[in-house]
Amino acid sequence: MRENLRELIKYRELLYMLAYRDIKVRYKQSVMGFLWAILMPVLIVMAGVLVRYGYVLIAGKHLEPSDIASVAVKSLPWAFLVSSIRFGCNSLVLNPNLVTKVYFPKEIFPMAAVLASLFDFLVASVALIALLLAFRIGWSVYLLWTPVLIAMMVILAAGVGMIVSAASLFFRDVKYIVEILLTFGIFFTPVFYDTSMLGAKGKWLLLNPIAPILDGLSACVALHEPPDLRWLGYSLGFGLVAILGGYVFFKHLEPAFAESI
C-alpha cells in the first residue's frame, strides 16, 4: 500500500488536471455558470425551511433565524456529498480510453470528482456566509471545528466514491442503486431537521455516519455550541474505514478494469 500511495502522490498533478477538466466541462456553455453550484443547495434550503416551518407551527413556536441557518449550513455539505458520490460513481465508465490505454493510478478519477465537487462547495459557501451575515448569526470559537468536519466529509465522500466507481464497472445497475439511495437518503439524514427534534428516537439517526457531521456543523456555526465528540469519533472511524477499505477494494479490482469497461 505504501508504494501505491507514493505513486498516487507522484501523479498528483494529473489529479488536479482531471478535477479542473471536470469543473470546465460542468460549466462550459452554461447560461448560469457558477450559479449552478449554488442552485442545488438553495433548493435544499428552501425545502428544509418549509419542513422546519411546518414543525414550528405544530409545536406552537416561531421560525428563528438560527433554524434557517441550521438548514443552510447542513444543505451545503449534503449537496457536496451527493455530487461527489454521483459523479464519482460514473467517473470510470465515462473515461474508457484513459482507463484502458493510459497507465496511472485509476483512483484518481473518483478523487477528481470529489475535488470538483469541493470546488462547487466552496463557491456555494460564499453565498452561505452572506446568508449568515444577513441573519446576524454571529461567530464563536467553535467555528474552528468547521475545517475538521469538512475534512471528515471529504474523507467519507472519497471512500464511498472509490467503492461505487469500481463496482459500477462490473455491475452497471450500481449507478441506479446509488441514485435511489442519494434521492431518498436525505429523509434519513438530519438536513431538514435536527436529531434533537425527534427526541430520544433521534439518536438512532446518528448511526448514519453523515448525521453527526451535519449536526456538528449546525452546532458550531448556527448554534455556537461544541459538537458531540462521541458521535464525531464514530463518524471519523467510519470514514477512515470507508476510505481505507474503499482503496483496498478499488486496487483489488483495478487489474480487471480494462476487461470490464
pLDDT single digits (tens) 117-170:
999 899 888 888 888 888 888 888 999 999 999 999 999 999 999 999 999 988
What pLDDT, on the 0 to 100 scale, is given for residue 59? 61
Range of the domain at 245: 2-260
The total of other beta-carbon atoms located within 10 Å of residue 55's CB is 16
Q: Residue 107: phi, psi to the nearest 5? A: -65, -10
- Report DSSP state, residue 232: H
Cell numbers for 50, please give them.
Answer: 418549509
pLDDT in tens, 75-108: 899 999 999 999 999 999 988 888 888 788 899 9
Counted domains in the chain: 1
- Report DSSP state, residue 241: H
Q: What is the mean pLDDT of residues 30-36?
A: 63
What pLDDT, on the 0 to 100 scale, is given for residue 234? 95
Residue 261 has pLDDT above 90, yes or no: no
What pLDDT, on the 0 to 100 scale, is given for residue 143? 92
Question: Which residue in the block uniquely carries the three cell numbers 466541462?
Answer: 25
What pLDDT, on the 0 to 100 scale, is given for residue 139? 85
Q: Which range is least confidently modeled, 27-31, 47-51, 68-72, 200-204?
A: 27-31
What pLDDT, on the 0 to 100 scale, is given for residue 26? 77
Q: Using an 8 Å Cβ cutoff, are 37 and 122 in contact? A: no
Query: 36 CB contacts (<8 Å, ≥6 apart)?
Result: 26, 27, 30, 120
Residue 239 has pLDDT above 90, yes or no: yes
Angle at 84 between CA 189 and CA 208, to 5 degrees: 25
Residue 74 has pLDDT above 70, yes or no: yes
What pLDDT, on the 0 to 100 scale, is given for residue 206? 85
Query: Shortest CA distance to 10 belongs to which of 108, 110, 111, 91?
Result: 108
Q: What is the mean pLDDT of residues 184-206?
A: 81
When mean pLDDT is compared over 2-16, 61-75, 102-116, 128-142, the highest value belongs to: 102-116
Instruction: Grade residue 60 by pLDDT with cuts at 50, 70 and 90.
Output: low
Write the burial class of residue 62 (CB in 10 Å: 0-12 exposed, 13-18 middle, 19+ buried).
exposed
pTM: 0.89
What pLDDT, on the 0 to 100 scale, is given for residue 23? 85
